[in-house]
Structure 1
Amino acid sequence: MYQLDLAVAFSVATVQCGSLVLAVFRARTAAVVHLASIAVLVVAIRDSAGEPWPLPVTGLLSLGGLTVLLGVRERWTVSVSTWWSSIALLVALIVMSPQRYADPDHWGTNLTIYASYTATVLVAAIAAGQRGRIRADLAAARRDVALEQAQRLHVEERARIARELHDVVAHSMSLVHMQAMSAPIRLKGASTSVVDGEFQDIARSARTALAEMRQLLGVLRSDDADLLPQPQLGDIEDLVATVSRAEVPIRASIDADAHQVSPLVQLTTYRIVQEALSNVVRHAPTAATDVTITADGAALHVSVRNEPPATRPGPAATSPDQGGQGLRGMRERVTALGGRLATGPTDDGGFLIDATIPAAIDHQPEKS
């Protein structure tokens, strides 16, 4: 139709098709190359006897394909800029050849068809591209949230394990240390059976700590690990008896209704009492201590109050574990259950740990 040399026609067509492939990797470069090939084509057919359209059908199709690729894959600014550049290029080519494009009906129709057709394609491509990018952003946001949640759970699990290890090791090892260091004084002149019983208590405390540590390590090693029963309120009596062997006078009072709370609340209460007594052994040995656990139907109240020690413990009797994590661990446990914890020295020089843990208790009427 335009009497264009085949070599030039195939060269221009190759550049146009190649620029569409290039647009997948280098959008801006592809747009420049494609518009340059369109300019070469329009100039090459300027002197032909064919219909004086500035843009042949092949150019309409190739520019439409370029618009679709840029609209879907790139930001809207790139595709819109390319579209406006193509309009400006065609207008410039028309102005450069006033004699061939003297009749505005011919080039005006061609330009209108191109602008309306590519504008429709451009809007649809941008909408599809934006939808794809929004979906990709949402998927990335979900991955980030999942990763953040996994990291938070990891940190919480590490904190939980750290609390458990601290409660187990600090309490049991403090008792072992205090019993071992004070044994030469307390057992001076004692019979062989008393001495044997003392060392059996020390060994029993060490075995208990090892057993609980193995339980925690078993949970870490395997998801199918068999869990041993967790300490409950009924075990506080044994705990008090064990600590009392370290010359700590303890008075314990536990409401019968308190045993009706959930196992998790009972475990938390046990750990609070355990840590509080461990602090007494470490920092105020021989100090009289009161453990009180009451239930009022809506909450469980735990109070551990020790009086000032009768004598200041010497360096040999003081536990090398200076603590620092026990109170923090107690507060984390209580807060996790929606309760509150108050700690601090008393007016007489002692120390008080007071916790309130929400725990619904159903008072069943006694059957006749």
Structure 2
Amino acid sequence: MVLPDDVVPYALVIAGLVLVVVALVVVTVLAVRRARRLGAERTVNARARVDLELSVADQSGRLRMIRELHDLSLHRVTTMISDADGARYAGQTDPNAAVRAAGTISETGRTALADMRRVSLLVRESEAEIGLQPTLKSTRDLFAIMRDAGLTVIFERSGDPYQVTPGAELMIYRIMQEALSNSLKYGGEGTTARVAFTWTQDGFQARVDDDGFRNAAIRKGMDPTAPMSYTVEDDLHALTDEIVGPGIAVMRERAELYGGTLNVTQTPGVGFSISAVFPTLRHHNGVHGVDLSRGAAR
């Protein structure tokens, strides 16, 4: 069908207007979406700023308390030294005076030790509360992140969980983060990591077992149905060699802060196993895991 010559210009004009209208609609929609996104970002930034200001104020208060307790502890240690010198001279002529001085030194020492433990507790809590620090519940998000990165995470839990200090929660999270990162680093995508949390009456164990060796071999072309080959020498190295590295050293230091031990082993043909055991995590408070509530109840 051929349109008359006088109709063609009007059709072109109408088509152009339609295109302009469509373009304006698209631009308007995009502008509205951008405005909403910017508004949401401003709200999030405002909340983050308020949270940061509150956190800074809280940390400033903690630092002030730490400084005061530190100065008080220094004064008490100085007093202990002075009393000890006095007891040494008094003991030459009056043994009873030396005994009394020893009692005073002992009491001052216990008080100073209690203050230093409070300083340690404040420092740990401050470290755990800087910013939005992860908790044990955050491990679920960590598992999701590692799955998105290509790691298959299977989680199991046994025992009845109980509340631990924020610092202990952060410590467990960081150990899990490092362990799973190592599984992905050395095994590659497709590696399976089995994570197990075991709660006992007073203790806790976190364990990660992966199949990184096998998965790395499969990625290089090994038949997935074929058994993994390894030698007696491989078994010997697995039993005798100490597995070291910067990440493992940091995990071990974190575990020791809360009375725990970290063990890293390898199974030839399978992968690595990392186990962090905390016999007294429930009551760990800077006093070697002593349940202080028992003494208070007497």
Which TM-score applies when normalising by structure 1? 0.33
Computing the radius of gyration over CA atoms, which structure comes out larger, 1 or 2?
1
Please give the TM-score of this superposition, normalised by the length of structure 2: 0.41
The structure with higher relative contact order (CA 8 Å, sep 6+) is: 2
